[in-house]
Amino acid sequence: MNRRFSSPIDYDTPYSEYDIARVSALHRNWVRFQETYPYNAALLKILLGRSAKDAHMEMEVIPEEKARSIVQLLRKQATAAKSRRVDNLLPMGDS
């Protein structure tokens, strides 16, 4: 009777070679996109967060000057909006 030795290293990965190659190609394209269009990439990061890498393939690239001005505007608004929602509420009751 033959029994196969099973070590902790001997396991089936949930990812195929195709999956690994696809993720690797997506990462290479994302790095190339960031180098070529830095402000478009920054805009995607602001708008989509961690999903920016997946969405950059579907994005219609806008001119870098326009993307730069949008990124600067969004960053400026984000730093200006430091007040909490509670600060905007009016007191209620018999006052």
Query: Residue ranges of the domains in the chain?
Result: 18-78
Q: Residue 26 in contact with residue 53, Cβ under 8 Å?
A: yes
Residue-level pLDDT at 52 = 92
HSE, CB side, 13 Å, CA atoms: give it for residue 17.
0
Residue-level pLDDT at 76 = 87
- Residue type for 66, please? K
Tokens 């920054």 belong to: 42
Residue-level pLDDT at 93 = 64
Q: Residue 66 in contact with residue 74, Cβ under 8 Å?
A: no
Residue-level pLDDT at 12 = 67
Residue-level pLDDT at 32 = 96
Q: Which of 13, 19, 14, 66 is nearest to 43 (CA)?
A: 66
Residue-level pLDDT at 18 = 86
Residue-level pLDDT at 64 = 96
> What tokens were used for 54?
């997946």
Residue-level pLDDT at 17 = 87
For 6, which DSSP code?
-
Residue-level pLDDT at 69 = 96
Residues of the chain with pLDDT under 70: 1-12, 79-95
